[in-house]
Amino acid sequence: MIVTGLCFVAVTASVKMVGDDVPAAQAAFLRYALGAVFLLPMIPALRAAHFTPRILKLSGLRGLVHALGVICWFYAMTRIPIAEVTAMNYLNPVYVTVLAVLVLGERISVRRAMAIVFALAGAMVILRPGFRDLDPGHIAMLFTAGFFAVGYIVTKILADEVPAAVVVFLLSVTVPVLLSPIAFVVWVPVGWEDLGWLFVTAVFATAGHFTMTLAFRVAPLTVTQPVTFLQLVWATLLGALVFAEPVDLFVVIGGAMIIASVSYIALREARLRRRVAAAGSTPGYGAAGAAHAREQGDVRDTPGN
């Protein structure tokens, strides 16, 4: 997760190097087009997959919201400091939690709801509406987190039906296809230097997702999630040392509030899963016993709360 954070900070830095030389939609399109080489190892899994109309529709929806999120993210990178982009991106898990309740029908406990409110308060500390002028980049980041959250929910649904490699491949294909019409409308000539930075973006984004997958495979979210706060530290240092962006204490405090909330949610979810698993494995309990335990209060919350 430490390497993952460094990779994602490198992604933001490379996009920052391109700046507004390339329109956001075009830059996002080129990032995925240049990263197409990383799809080759996924082709065998794609050939073995069975595609139903439902899978294709869900993949199209995920590609659409992800494309919109990427455009907003690239735009925000040209408008506001790296630290603010990083801090506001932490809102994604909070949006996911809310959508899981609204879309997937998951229940939410009072304490988890309070954690969400605390995270949103952290976002207000970062934005400070009424105390400073909000940049369109801040609004773009709010939409970015929302679009990515919708994409995450759709990914959860797809992951139960097709292999992970197929999910990644479909995203990597649908996003540039959907971005291409917008990119060509705003297309400008691109120099080799900007192409190089966008390829660096693709490399570090792929590496970051790979190392994140490795981390999730060997450690629970309760271990990996708090480490992501280091990403904000590195982003703040990078912005100050490389791009001469002033260190904003409110951004650090607000980011800490958001990541503390997300870490609490992950910790509580893991704890509840262990309690439900323990109830289900108790002699004489079984799956029905675990459900009865939840109803009777032995396990007071359902998994995912």
Residue 127 in any domain: the answer is yes
For residue 246, the 8-state DSSP code is P
What mean pLDDT is predicted for residues 177-187? 91
Q: How many CB atoms lie within 10 A of CB 150?
A: 20
Q: Where in the sequence is the domain holding 126, given as residue range(s)?
A: 82-133+248-305
Would you say residue 110 lies in a domain? yes
Residue 265 lies in a domain: yes
Asked if the structure places residue 277 within a domain, the reply is yes
Within a domain: 98: yes
User: Residue 193 and residue 190: Cα distance in Å, rounded?
Assistant: 8
Length of the chain: 305
Which burial class, exposed, middle or buried, applies to 15 when counting CB atoms under 10 A from its CB (0-12, 13-18, 19+)?
Answer: buried
pTM for this structure? 0.73
**Is 95 inside a domain boundary?**
yes
Q: What's the pLDDT tens digit per position in 10-38?
A: 888 888 888 888 898 899 898 888 887 87
Residue at 288: amino acid letter: A
**No. of H helices and E strands in the chain?**
14, 0
On the question of pLDDT at 292 being above 60, the answer is no
Asked if residue 279 is part of any domain, the answer here is yes
Q: List 129's β-bridge partners, or say none.
A: 132
| Structural domains in the chain (count) | 1
CA distance 11 to 9: 5
Q: pLDDT, tens digit, for every residue of 128-140? A: 877 777 889 889 9
**How many CB atoms are closer than 10 A to CB 181?**
10
